[in-house]
């Protein structure tokens, strides 16, 4: 099968690419390397075709989908904080880029497109767990852009017959997630700092909770969604673990795994962040057969091991 992964040099994308290559798929990557890196595609035995291009460029997208059976559309400008700082760029990449991809996939006869959405579409609704029948109330430009992409996917399935599946990822973490960016996610940021003897800095009171999802679970969901039956077409579904932990308890887990005793520092909360996040994964289990393979503590251990290795050998 010929597979295109947009954003394939990024965090989730590169983990997916490695899994697809290991399964014997023919993989092409489209990435502008703005947040991804060619280093993330190292050790794939030269079997990945990397095309450096931008999803905002219709010509680059059209060329990338030629001869492709399945598209995993993971390219995006990530994070709530970045979207608050630059909503126009977020919309341009996440909405216009997604529309470019859908049009090109439709015209090229692609069988199915898997779209990486986000749990942020639910906003800060107090009901837990979050389930797909709830109202979506995005409260940041990033969340709005991800919801817009879902709606476009659903529309292309209904109107043009392009099979789409939208996956609402809940706080994905793991190897090859950048711990150095000002927009770094909390687990690599905390873990790397603590490895170097720095206390983690929590924005808010630390009682906010998240359903952290190890990247192997997200990769599994992408693979399952590509092969799922027709009931999944045009649908959006949660991809998480169905468990949540506060940031204070996360620090304790990391301390235990690292053998450290860091007390967190605190700062003001961030605009657009939600208070609590917890996924109902019943729909994904029913429609694509998804069940999480790796739980939080195991995933944290694997992430720490990768960070330690990465400090010694950046190309890992």
Identified catalytic residue from 115, 122, 142, 152: 142
**Cα–Cα distance, 243 to 60 (Å, whole number):** 40
Residue with tokens 């959006």: 236
The values of phi and psi at residue 104, to 5°, are: -65, -40
Residue 184's SS3 state is: coil
Q: Distance (Å, rounded) from C-alpha 207 to C-alpha 297?
A: 19
- C-alpha 184/C-alpha 75 separation (Å) is 17
Which spans in the chain are helix H? 11-22, 58-65, 80-85, 87-91, 97-108, 141-160, 186-195, 215-227, 247-258, 282-288, 296-312
**Sign of the dihedral through C-alpha 46, 64, 240, 38:** positive
Structure tokens, 176: 């090859």
Over its C-alpha atoms, the chain yields an Rg (Å, rounded) of 19
Distance between CA 215 and CA 161 in Å, rounded? 30
Rounded Cα gap, residues 312 and 310, in angstroms:
5
Percent helix, strand and coil across the chain, each to the nearest 5: 45, 20, 40
Residues composing the chain? 316
Residue 142 falls in the annotated catalytic set: yes
The tokens describing 42, both together, are: 């190292």
Residues identified as active-site:
142
């Amino acid at each position: 099968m010929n597979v295109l992964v947009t954003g394939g040099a990024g965090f989730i994308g590169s983990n997916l690419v490695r899994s697809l290559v290991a399964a014997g798929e023919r993989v092409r990557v489209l990435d502008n390397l703005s947040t991804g890196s060619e280093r993330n595609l190292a050790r794939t035995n030269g079997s990945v075709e990397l095309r450096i291009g931008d999803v905002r460029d219709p010509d680059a997208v059209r060329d990338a989908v030629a001869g492709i059976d399945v598209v995993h559309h993971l390219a995006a400008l990530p994070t709530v904080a970045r979207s608050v700082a630059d909503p126009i760029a977020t919309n341009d990449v996440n909405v216009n880029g997604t529309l470019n991809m859908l049009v090109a996939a439709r015209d090229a006869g692609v069988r199915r497109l898997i779209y990486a959405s986000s749990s942020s579409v639910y906003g800060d609704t107090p009901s837990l767990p979050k389930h797909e029948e709830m109202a979506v109330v995005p409260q940041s430009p990033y969340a709005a852009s991800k919801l817009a992409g879902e709606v476009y996917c659903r529309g292309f399935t209904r109107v043009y017959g392009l099979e789409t599946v939208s996956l609402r990822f809940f706080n994905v973490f793991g190897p090859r997630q950048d711990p150095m960016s000002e927009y770094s996610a909390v687990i690599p940021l905390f873990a790397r700092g603590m490895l170097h003897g720095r206390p983690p800095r929590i924005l808010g009171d630390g009682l906010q909770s998240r359903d952290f999802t190890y990247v192997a679970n997200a990769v599994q969901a992408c693979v399952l969604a590509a092969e799922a039956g027709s009931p999944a077409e045009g649908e959006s579904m949660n991809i998480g673990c169905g468990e949540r932990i506060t940031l204070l308890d996360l620090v304790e887990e990391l301390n235990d795994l690292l053998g450290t005793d860091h007390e967190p520092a605190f700062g003001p909360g961030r605009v657009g962040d939600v208070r609590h996040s917890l996924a109902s994964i019943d729909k994904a289990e029913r429609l694509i057969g998804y069940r999480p393979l790796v739980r939080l503590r195991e995933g944290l251990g694997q992430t720490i091991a990768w960070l330690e290795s990465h400090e010694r050998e950046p190309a890992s």
